[in-house]
Amino acid sequence: MQSVQRQFGRFMKRSADESQVALLLSDFDQIDKLLDKIVDSTRAWRDAWSSLLTHQDRLFTEFEGLYAPIIGSSEATSHTPVPTPEATLARTSKIRVEYEDLKKDLLEQLNGIDERMIDPASQAKELLTPLKKTIKKRQDKKLDYERHTGRVDSYSKRTKRTDRENASLAKAEDDLTRSTEEYHAADEHLRKCLPPLIAAVFSLLPRLLSAQIEIQNNLLANYYTVIYGYCEEEQFPANPPQDLEDTVTEWEQACNPVQEQIESFGCIVNGKTARSNSQPSNERRPSNTLTALNNRFRSNQNVSTQQSQSDTKLGAANDNVPSLGIRSKSTPYAPSAHSVQSLYKDTAPALSSSSVAETPTSSQQVSQSDSLTPSIPLSTKPSLSAIAGQKKRPPPPPKPRSASSNVTFVTALYDFGGQSAGDLAFQEGDRIRVVKRTESTDDWWDGELHGVKGSFPANYVELAE
């Protein structure tokens, strides 16, 4: 029962702590959060160094594999690989060995991060756990003190009290006296325990910072020693040029020839990505209707027809059969869905299995993206001529759309009285017109009810049928 009363007391108006105790509690919370950040950040720093060593070791292993001699099959080929110079192989193998030794040395120093930084901070945080329980008990004592103070004030304000109320007042005063003593004793205990502990934790911070600086300097010094020694032995420039433009120019001179050679490969030049990038954006995506129509005509073409017969018959067909037109680059042609579907349906019966379809030559094709003229067999000339002579039937009118087709109504499942200004209040069963909504039912929608507009929770309603 007492714990339930304390839970309710946390939601009531609380009294302020004594200034010294409030400052101690604030410092305690700060050092608790600070130790958490130190432990988490130090672990991330250690893992970052470990990941760096692992990736660099893999990198130089791959370099050694790239420079290694190419061992091909025994079949004779026209291309003979050029062997890598022995000096290059020796340099690559040497840098890999150097970085393997460097990785072992640095991993030993990274293990010292746990001993010198993470473990002390974790132990200091564990020492704060008993004090957290003490602070929680002190908060309970304060809640009891506030509850008993409220009871005494409530009974004291009554000018006319009954005997039962006087007895309750006396009991409340006794409880207040006891809770006041316990509350003050808890505050006094915190005044004695917290200052030494807070000072000890803050004195630990310079030691942790000193350890971090020492470890970081050792890691960087070992890295510099290995790289500088390797550059001196292999006669590489250990120090970069003063001007950044010289570095960029030197890199471009070494990189651009390789880039041009790779980009000249046939698989890259004639690849799908290169072709799609070379086409204008307005010509890459033909309409779905035209694509389906072209696929229909292409599926009926007979590839077994000789090329000479194809050229002759295609020329005759192009003179008599009306085409769908040429689409201009500046003003793309987009025929209506009805006209394309009508042509598709009327020409489908004429494309029988006995019809012979021809494929146009490359000289007669304008381009795949610019021309929309399909290949049509000669047997379809009468049908297409009849189609050209007849007047196109108008498309059927669309079904009349009711005025309320875009209006959405929802039915309230629960009562909602509103939480703030601008909320739409409603009762269970009300029919609300939705003004604005989202795809999620966990959001707030805008609606209108009885001429009043406002926001309401979407999970309080369901869509009306």
**How far apart are the C-alpha atoms of 92 and 63, rounded to whole Å?**
7
What's the pLDDT at 360?
Answer: 42
- pLDDT tens-digit profile, the chain (465 residues): 455 444 544 444 555 567 788 888 888 989 999 999 999 999 999 999 999 999 999 999 998 888 887 766 555 666 677 778 888 889 999 999 999 999 999 999 999 999 999 999 999 999 888 888 888 888 878 887 877 777 787 777 777 777 787 787 888 788 788 878 888 888 888 888 889 999 999 999 999 999 999 999 999 999 999 988 998 888 887 666 567 788 888 888 989 998 888 888 877 777 655 555 545 444 444 444 333 334 434 444 444 444 444 444 434 444 443 333 333 333 344 444 444 344 334 433 433 333 333 444 443 443 444 444 444 444 444 444 444 445 556 555 555 444 445 688 999 998 998 888 889 999 999 999 999 988 888 889 999 998 899 999 999 999 886
Whole-number pLDDT of residue 267 = 78
Who's near 456: CB < 8 A, 6+ residues apart? 416, 423, 424, 426, 432, 444, 445, 446, 447
Domain ranges of the chain: 2-68+84-233, 408-463
Within a 13 Å sphere around the CA of 269, how many CA atoms are in the beta-carbon half? 8
pLDDT for the residue numbered 277: 52
CA diameter of the chain: 124
Contact 193, 132 (CB under 8 A): no
**Pairwise CA distance, residues 437 & 451, whole Å:** 18
What was the pLDDT predicted at 397? 55
> Residue 195 has which token pair?
């200052």
The CATH number fitting domain 408-463, selected from 3.20.20.70, 2.30.30.40, 3.90.79.10, 3.20.20.150: 2.30.30.40
Which residues is 347 bridged to in the sheet? none
Burial 375-392 (b: 16+ CB within 10 A, else e): bbbbebeebbeebeeeee
Judged by DSSP in three states, 38 sits in helix
Phi, psi of 17 (to 5 degrees): -75, 160
pLDDT at position 351 is 36
Distance CA 355, CA 359 (A): 13
Cβ(340)–Cβ(395) below 8 Å: no
Q: Is the pTM of this model over 0.75?
A: no
- What CATH class is the domain 2-68+84-233? mainly alpha
Nearest to 151 by CA among 170, 136, 164: 170
Q: How is residue 335 written in tokens?
A: 């025929």
CB 109 within 8 A of CB 56: no
| Neighbour-count burial for 166-192, b at 16+ CB within 10 Å, e otherwise | eebbeebeebbeebeebbeebbeebee
Q: What does DSSP assign to residue 379?
A: G
Q: Report how far residue 178's alpha carbon sits from residue 423's, in angstroms, rounded to the nearest whole number.
A: 48
**What confidence score (pLDDT) does residue 151 get?**
77
Q: Residue 58: what are its φ and ψ, rounded to 5°?
A: -65, -35
Q: Which residue has the tokens 């672990």?
A: 43
